[in-house]
């Protein structure tokens, strides 16, 4: 449940920050007339992300067992690739997120309503589709038949919306550099578990027949149905009886990915700190502006 809460929080906060930066800029520049197209684009992005998630869930139920395993394993690899790219990209560009969005918004304002809708859709839609895909693969990896993974995602998204609202109102100051470093590092650990389970699915589908013997089996020590076994499964996608291929993939991904991600990227003290949607020393948008 925690891993899915982290996914919802991380991806949801990215989307929330994007939304509040766009809205605060329009309010500050006196372009409230452009708010409706922005919300329209955001609504379309959310609807498509939810539709994508439903299509994955209900569409996969009509497949044979081997086809389900092949689909789950393939999408797990794709999801891990997207999430890995996302955490590295956000850590590198967190300081410049506001200026990038403002530049796109200025261009969209000059082009008209359709461009505003497209700008909001593209800004939020990427996070939405990534969230839907990664959540589906994470839930598929958990596969314990309980609604806890989805509850974790919902709680994470709700927390992200609340933090975004507080950020917009100026009641919250977020050090984006530190936030995205810590949550990104934890997501890399979660992604390693999803990737390993994805390779397990591909083995179940007979796509990867090699290295199928168990690396170890500690099911007696860590029973999968125990509270601590469930906790390890929910947080790290831990499996007490992984194959040699799963352990190999887990190590080959986690060690270099964490080493590269945690390496210094040149953030000086305080440079990653964002005080609100209005930066450059000005005060964040106040309630009277909304």
Q: Is 8 contained in some domain?
A: yes
Is there a domain that residue 204 lies in?
yes
**DSSP states of 21-33:** HHHHHHHHTT-GG
Q: Is residue 260 part of a domain?
A: yes
Q: Is residue 47 part of a domain?
A: yes
Confirm whether 42 is domain-assigned. yes
Give domain status of residue 128, yes or no.
Answer: yes
Number of structural domains the chain divides into: 1
Q: How far apart are CA 91 and CA 271, in angstroms?
A: 12
CA distance 185 to 8: 15
- Provide the residue-wise pLDDT of the chain in tens; the chain has 290 residues: 666 777 778 778 878 888 888 888 888 888 888 888 889 988 998 899 888 888 887 877 777 878 888 888 888 898 888 888 888 877 777 667 778 778 888 888 888 888 888 888 887 887 788 788 877 777 766 655 555 667 777 888 888 888 888 877 776 676 766 777 777 888 888 888 888 888 888 888 888 876 678 888 888 888 777 767 766 776 667 778 888 888 899 999 999 998 888 887 554 334 444 444 444 433 343 333 44
Query: CB under 8 Å, gap of 24 or more: what pairs does 20-23 form?
Result: 20/164, 20/165, 20/167, 20/168, 20/277, 20/285, 21/97, 21/98, 21/101, 21/102, 21/277, 22/101, 22/105, 22/119, 22/120, 22/123, 23/168, 23/277, 23/285, 23/290
Instruction: Tell me the whole-structure pTM to 2 decimals.
Output: 0.67
Tokens of 249: 């993939």
Per-residue DSSP letter, 285: P
12, part of any domain = yes
| Rounded-to-integer distance, Cα 239 and Cα 193, Å | 9
Residue 109 inside a domain? The answer is yes
Domain coverage including residue 250: 2-279
């Amino acid at each position: 449940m925690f891993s899915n809460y982290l996914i919802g929080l991380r991806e949801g906060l990215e989307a929330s920050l994007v939304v509040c930066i766009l809205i605060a800029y329009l309010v500050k520049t006196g372009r409230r007339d452009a708010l409706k197209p922005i919300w329209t684009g955001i609504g379309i992005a959310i609807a498509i992300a939810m539709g994508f998630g439903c299509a994955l869930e209900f569409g996969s139920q009509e497949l044979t067992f081997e086809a389900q395993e092949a689909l789950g394993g393939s999408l797990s690899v794709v999801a891990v690739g997207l999430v890995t790219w996302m955490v590295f990209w956000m850590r590198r560009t967190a300081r410049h997120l506001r200026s990038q969005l403002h530049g796109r918004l200025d261009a969209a304002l000059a082009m008209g309503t359709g461009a505003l809708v497209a700008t909001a859709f593209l800004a939020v839609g990427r996070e939405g589709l990534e969230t839907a895909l990664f959540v589906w693969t994470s839930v598929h990896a958990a596969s314990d038949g309980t609604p806890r993974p989805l509850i974790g995602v919902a709680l994470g998204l709700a927390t992200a919306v609340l933090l975004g609202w507080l950020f917009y109102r100026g009641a919250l100051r977020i050090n984006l550099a530190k936030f995205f470093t810590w949550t990104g590092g934890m997501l890399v650990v979660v992604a390693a578990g999803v990737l390993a389970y994805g390779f397990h699915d591909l083995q179940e589908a007979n796509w990867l027949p090699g290295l199928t013997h168990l690396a170890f089996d500690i099911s007696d020590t860590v029973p999968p149905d125990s509270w601590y076994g469930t906790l390890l499964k929910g947080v790290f996608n831990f499996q007490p009886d992984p194959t040699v291929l799963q352990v190999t993939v887990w190590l080959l991904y986690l060690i270099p990915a964490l080493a590269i991600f945690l390496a210094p990227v040149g953030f000086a003290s305080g440079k990653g700190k964002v005080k609100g949607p209005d930066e450059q020393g000005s005060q964040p948008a106040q309630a009277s502006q909304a």
